[in-house]
Structure 1
Amino acid sequence: MLLSWLTGLGATLVFLHLVQKFLFPYFWQDVCYLLKVTGYGIRLEIFRRRGELVTVLDKFLSHAKAQPHKPFIIYEGDIHTYRDVDRRSSRVANVFLTHSTLKKGDTVALLMSNEPDFVHVWFGLAKLGFVVAFLNSNIRSKSLLHCLSSCGPKALVVGADLLGTVEEILSSLPEDITVWGMNDSVPQGVISLKEKLSTASEEPIPHRHHATAMLKANYLYIFTSGTTGLPKAAVITQMQAIKGSAGLWAFGCTADDIIYITLPLYHSAGSLLGIGGCIELGATCVLKKKFSASQFWVDCKKYNVTAFQYIGELCRYLCKQPKRDDDKDHRVRIAIGNGLRSDVWREFLDRFGNIKMCEFYGATEGNICFMNHTGKIGSVGRTNWFYKLFFSFDLIKYDFQKDTPIRNEQGWCSSVKKGEPGLLIAQVSAKSPFFGYAGNKKYTEKKLLCDVFKKGDVYFNTGDLMVEDQDFLYFWDRTGDTFRWKGENVATTEVGDVIGMLDFIQEANVYGVAVPDYEGRAGMASIILKPNRSLDLEKVYAHVVAFLPGYACPRFLRIQDKMERTGTFKLQKFRLVEEGFNALKISDPLYFLDNLKKSYVPLTKELYEQIMLGEIKL
């Protein structure tokens, strides 16, 4: 009797296991991951209710006491321990405490490349309770002045290699901004921070200077990339910084990992997820001034790197490097990042070995984040019912012609069907707040959708078009990038991927351009050729016609030597869209799709004028 009962129980368990494996293959991964993340959230809430407001800086100071001699930052072969960084940042804090009139809560802008002093200055200013604004080290002139005016700093700290950039705008800066340079020799009107650091005290700064009464207090300003306009200063609170710092831990990194950071620290991925993530773990990071595809694996082997951060383009650059016999000879076990295309994902794993690729989705200022903890190629994260218990989001129908969400006669938005692209929105609530941008309130208001499904509800507009399929979320395109032509929606990422398949094309940047008397926008692709390769116009034509629907085939091509990018490798389209296909002003080679000749043909000034006059139909 007992034997038959045990046999039946065993058979039932095997059956249930098979059902779970085939119908719910990610069940246990989902459970383990969500228990881990919700457990972290519960701990934060318990600390908050007890009044124990522990910030990222507090965690760093704790590590500096507990493991003072452990390497925190390795930079160009030099090791900076947790104690080293603590002492150097205290020097920075003591300089400002002694030689400035700044007070707790004031904003200080930081313009610096990736180097240890970026962290020293950041932490030193944070020790005094200042709000630090990270400035993009690539911006110049009017863009830099715009960023400074939008966050209203009382001081600006500049790296030695960027003093020339600030010298250009010194006369245009407001009189109440004090400029500090990280160099012995500085221009007139700039204070040498480096000189004062040489004699500054390393004495710890009393906790009261940076103690916070609430985790919703402002901590940083991090600027958006500004791919389609001027950058905006996203407000980062202490709570957002803490949540961001948990990313590496959530994906499985530990204190024993050595994390390679090549992304710019002025961006949230490098600072919050990278540096903050190392602090959460008590781990070591190898910091690189700039990403170098040729040096990447050399550094990984030299420093025994076990984890690295990526942007999709970074992995693509690595795949483009000449193949080597020792491509899999490294200790890297995990990579965390976003924007990785499916084809590059597969190629990367095939070439560089069994690395756990941890794709995630999240905007710097956003109130929602997705994490692909399953390793599903191409997906940015899970969207099952369990996830939706904790995070309220939706994909709604979008009018690509008017560039706005579709509303019915009653004024309400509606969700798309599974498998259809829709605008990702996330409900704003006490649990998922949106803190907006510094400066002009219109920027904050423009990111919010009100009265979406019912009166009074408010949603954060991510500006991203997504597709949900089988409880996974996939990136489709940006709303500003997607355009409508011949009554159809064209996804620029899809067209760019197809063009990039040609063996003589290194890069393709796709966008829509206005054509007189036509609704929507015609497709145009800016292209970079591979070194020592020539453009085969007939082959391009045959390829796009074979792989793309007629409405998605680019009507125009533009050949460039290089493309403008943001610091996180995002392609700049704003200027290209403005210039359109104007053969009278553009000096780059231009081509036009000619269906009669079954090829792209040179876009001459005469041909351009015929198109503008409507004599040639598109």
Structure 2
Amino acid sequence: MMLTWLTGLGGGIVCLHFVQKLLFPYFWDDFWYLLKVLRCGIRLQIHSKRGELVTVLDRFLSHAKKQPQKPFIIYEGDIYTYQEVDKRSSRVAHVLLDHSTLKRGDTVAMLMSNEPDFIHVWLGLTKLGCVVAFLNSNIRSNSLLHCIRSCEPRALIVGEDLLGNIEEILPNLPEGISVWGMKDSVPDGIISLKEKLSTASDKPVPRSRHVTSNLKSVCLYIFTSGTTGLPKAAIITQIQALMGSAGLWAFGCTANDIIYITLPLYHSSGSILGIGGCIELGATCVLKRKFSASQFWNDCKKYNVTTFQYIGELCRYLCKQPKRDGEKNHQVRLAIGNGLGKEVWKEFLDRFGNIKMCELYGATEGNICFMNHTGKIGSVGRTNFIYKLFFKFDLIKYDFQKDKPIRNEQGWCCPVKTGEPGLLISRVNAKHPFFGYAGNKKHTEKKLLCDVFEKGDLYFNTGDLMVEDQSFLYFWDRIGDTFRWKGENVATTEVADVIGKLDFIQEANVYGVSVPDYEGKAGMASIILKPNKSLDLEKIYEQLVTFLPAYACPRFLRIQEKMEMTGTFKLKKFQLVEEGFNPLNILDPLYFIDNLKRSYVPLTKELYNQIMTGEIKL
């Protein structure tokens, strides 16, 4: 009898397992991931009720005390232990305590490249209770000035290699900003922080300087292009930094992992997910000044890397490298990032081995994120009915011609059907607030949709079009006046403004066009000349490379006689995007950027074919 009962039980379990695999193949993946999310939330609640509001800095100080000799940063072969980073960051804090008037809550901007001192300065300022603003190291001139003005810093700290960028705008900086340089000999008007560090105290900074009583207090400003205009300073609170730093842990990283970071630290991916993630785990980070496709796998093998961060372009560059023997001979088991296209994803795995690609989605300033914890190729994240209970989001219909959500006769937005692309929006409430941007409140208000499904509701507009299929989300496109290229957001209005400053340009309409085998979209500008003015291609080139980062410079130009406008006097882009840059189909003169000639050159059929076949690299 017992044997029969046990046999029946065993058969039932096998049957249930078969049904689960057939109907709910991701049940256990979802179950264990949900437990991690709940565990993270419960831990925050427990600390909050005890009055122990633990920040990312507190986590770092705890590791520095428990494992002082463990390597925290490896940079160009040099090792910086947790204790050494703690002491160096304390020196930064003491220099500013002794030689400046900075106080708790003041904003300090950082213009630095990937280097250990980026982390030393960041942590040192955090020990003083300052709000730290990360400036994009690629921007210059008016864009850089705009970013500095918008976050209203009391001080600016500049890396040695970027002092020239600040010298250009030094006379135009707002009054009251002290500028510090990470170099012994600095230009007039700049104070040498590096010189003072050599004699500064490395004693611990009193915790009272940085202890927080509210996890919703601001700790960082990270600049994002959003969907329109010049870069905006996205507000990052302590709770957002904590949640972002838990990303590596949520994907399965541990304290024993060695994480390779080649992404820029001024982005949230490199700083919060990457460095913050290492701090959360107590892990080791191999920091690279700039990504190098030719050195990537050598570095991974040299430093026994087990996890790396990526953007889609990074993986594509690696796949384009000449094949070598032993490409699967490494210890990398996880790769965490975003923007990885389906075809590149497959090629990457076929070529470099069984690496779990952990794709995620989340805007820097957003109040929602998705994580593809299953490894489903092509998906940016997994969702299900339980996730939707905690994080309210929808995909709504969008009018691409009018560039706004579609509303029905009653004025409500309309959800899309399964499998259709829709604008991703997420509910804003007390549990999932949207903190917005520093400065002009209009920037924050523009990112919100009101009265979406009922009177008084409020949603964050991500600006991204998504498709949901079988509880997986797939990125489809961006809306508005922004496109992605080389892993960066390019604000079309900013590029158009730079072109428009030339005295022979009447109008410029900037947009992104698709190019085979490239992630994102390449920049293209449609231009109208002023009457009786001639086109100067060399001047256009000089203007763009002087005032824009390289990734924002349009690859293509189109000269038109007139431009169509929308009913609200916006330049129409949809048809231009559809037409692309094919000289066989476009009668208007077309030009292509030529960095060797430092000019734009006519886009011939031959050039077009070379671009399409990959002979010419963009």
TM-score class, shorter: 0.7 to 0.9
Q: Which residue of 1 aligns with 2:437?
A: 437
Q: Which residue of 1 aligns with 2:516?
A: 500
Candidates 560, 572, 575, aligned match of 2:593: 560
SS at match of 1:299: helix
Deviation for aligned residue 1:327: 0.8
Deviation for aligned residue 1:226: 6.2
Deviation for aligned residue 1:431: 1.3
Q: Which residue of 1 aligns with 2:603?
A: 590
Q: Does the 8 Å CA contact 2:72/2:80 hold for their aligned counterparts? A: yes
Cα distance in 2, alignment partners of residues 306 and 430 from structure 1: 38
Counterpart residue identity of residue 522, structure 1: L
Deviation for aligned residue 1:482: 9.4
Q: Which residue of 2 aligns with 1:184?
A: 184
Counterpart residue identity of residue 342, structure 2: S
Query: CA-to-partner distance for each residue in 1:249-294, whole Å, 9 max, x for gaps?
Result: 0000000000000000010000000000000000000000000111
Deviation for aligned residue 1:10: 2.0
Cα distance in 2, alignment partners of residues 226 and 300 from structure 1: 33
Pairs within 5 Å for 1:363-374: 363-374=363-374
Cα distance in 2, alignment partners of residues 49 and 447 from structure 1: 33
Q: Which residue of 2 aligns with 1:64?
A: 64
Deviation for aligned residue 1:558: 5.0
Q: Which residue of 1 aligns with 2:549?
A: none
Pairs within 5 Å for 1:208-607: 208-225=208-225, 229-480=229-480, 496=514, 499-500=515-516, 509=522, 516=563, 520-523=574-577, 558-561=591-594, 587-590=600-603
Cα distance in 2, alignment partners of residues 473 and 157 from structure 1: 40
Query: CA-to-partner distance for each residue in 1:300-349, whole Å, 9 max, x for gaps?
Result: 11111110000000000000000001111111110000000000000000
Cα distance in 2, alignment partners of residues 388 and 344 from structure 1: 30
TM-score, reference length from structure 1: 0.83
Q: Does the 8 Å CA contact 1:104/1:209 hold for their aligned counterparts? A: yes
Q: Which residue of 1 aligns with 2:139?
A: 139
Counterpart residue identity of residue 242, structure 1: L
Q: Which residue of 1 aligns with 2:555?
A: none
Q: Which residue of 2 aligns with 1:109?
A: 109
Distance 1:588 1:38, change over 3 A: farther
Q: Which residue of 1 aligns with 2:535?
A: none
Cα distance in 1, alignment partners of residues 154 and 438 from structure 2: 14
Deviation for aligned residue 1:395: 0.2
SS at match of 1:438: coil
Q: Does the 8 Å CA contact 2:157/2:182 hold for their aligned counterparts? A: yes
Distance 1:460 1:537, change over 3 A: closer
Counterpart residue identity of residue 132, structure 2: V
Q: Does the 8 Å CA contact 1:219/1:237 hold for their aligned counterparts? A: yes
Deviation for aligned residue 1:387: 1.3
Q: Which residue of 1 aligns with 2:27?
A: 27
SS at match of 1:424: strand
SS at match of 2:577: strand
Query: CA-to-partner distance for each residue in 1:410-444, whole Å, 9 max, x for gaps?
Result: 11111000000000000011111110000111100
Q: Does the 8 Å CA contact 1:523/1:556 hold for their aligned counterparts? A: no
Deviation for aligned residue 1:556: 8.8
Cα distance in 2, alignment partners of residues 554 and 119 from structure 1: 52
Counterpart residue identity of residue 295, structure 1: Q
Distance 1:164 1:250, change over 3 A: same
Q: Which residue of 1 aligns with 2:536?
A: none
Query: CA-to-partner distance for each residue in 1:451-493, whole Å, 9 max, x for gaps?
Result: 101111110000000000011000000012799xxxxxxxx99
Cα distance in 2, alignment partners of residues 272 and 517 from structure 1: 42
Cα distance in 2, alignment partners of residues 471 and 314 from structure 1: 27
Cα distance in 2, alignment partners of residues 196 and 227 from structure 1: 41
Distance 1:336 1:226, change over 3 A: same
Query: CA-to-partner distance for each residue in 1:1-57, whole Å, 9 max, x for gaps?
Result: 333322222222221111100111000010011111111111101111221100000
Higher deviation after alignment, 7-16 or 205-214: 7-16
Distance 1:227 1:299, change over 3 A: farther
Distance 1:517 1:452, change over 3 A: closer
Distance 1:558 1:4, change over 3 A: farther
Distance 1:285 1:454, change over 3 A: same
Counterpart residue identity of residue 500, structure 1: P
Q: Does the 8 Å CA contact 2:593/2:600 hold for their aligned counterparts? A: no
Cα distance in 2, alignment partners of residues 368 and 33 from structure 1: 16
Counterpart residue identity of residue 421, structure 1: P
Q: Which residue of 1 aligns with 2:541?
A: none
SS at match of 2:114: coil
Counterpart residue identity of residue 559, structure 1: F
Cα distance in 1, alignment partners of residues 79 and 482 from structure 2: 46
Counterpart residue identity of residue 522, structure 2: N
Cα distance in 1, alignment partners of residues 587 and 122 from structure 2: 45
Deviation for aligned residue 1:512: 9.0
Q: Does the 8 Å CA contact 2:592/2:600 hold for their aligned counterparts? A: no
Q: Does the 8 Å CA contact 2:305/2:332 hold for their aligned counterparts? A: yes
Q: Which residue of 2 aligns with 1:130?
A: 130
Cα distance in 2, alignment partners of residues 556 and 16 from structure 1: 66
Q: Does the 8 Å CA contact 2:159/2:181 hold for their aligned counterparts? A: yes
Cα distance in 2, alignment partners of residues 524 and 590 from structure 1: 18
Cα distance in 2, alignment partners of residues 26 and 44 from structure 1: 27
Cα distance in 1, alignment partners of residues 136 and 519 from structure 2: 26
Pairs within 5 Å for 1:81-120: 81-120=81-120
SS at match of 2:90: helix
Deviation for aligned residue 1:523: 2.9
Distance 1:482 1:202, change over 3 A: closer
SS at match of 1:588: strand
How many corresponding residue pairs? 539
Distance 1:177 1:94, change over 3 A: same
CA root-mean-square deviation: 2.6
Deviation for aligned residue 1:524: 6.2
Cα distance in 2, alignment partners of residues 236 and 508 from structure 1: 28
Q: Which residue of 2 aligns with 1:7?
A: 7
Cα distance in 2, alignment partners of residues 343 and 158 from structure 1: 40
Q: Which residue of 1 aligns with 2:201?
A: 201
**Alignment gaps of 5+ in structure 1:** 484-491, 528-535, 542-552, 564-585, 594-598, 601-618
Q: Does the 8 Å CA contact 2:181/2:192 hold for their aligned counterparts? A: yes
Query: CA-to-partner distance for each residue in 1:196-229, whole Å, 9 max, x for gaps?
Result: 1111011110000001110000000000146853
Cα distance in 1, alignment partners of residues 267 and 579 from structure 2: 28
Cα distance in 2, alignment partners of residues 415 and 290 from structure 1: 42
Counterpart residue identity of residue 602, structure 2: P
Deviation for aligned residue 1:130: 0.4
Distance 1:516 1:187, change over 3 A: closer
Cα distance in 1, alignment partners of residues 600 and 128 from structure 2: 52
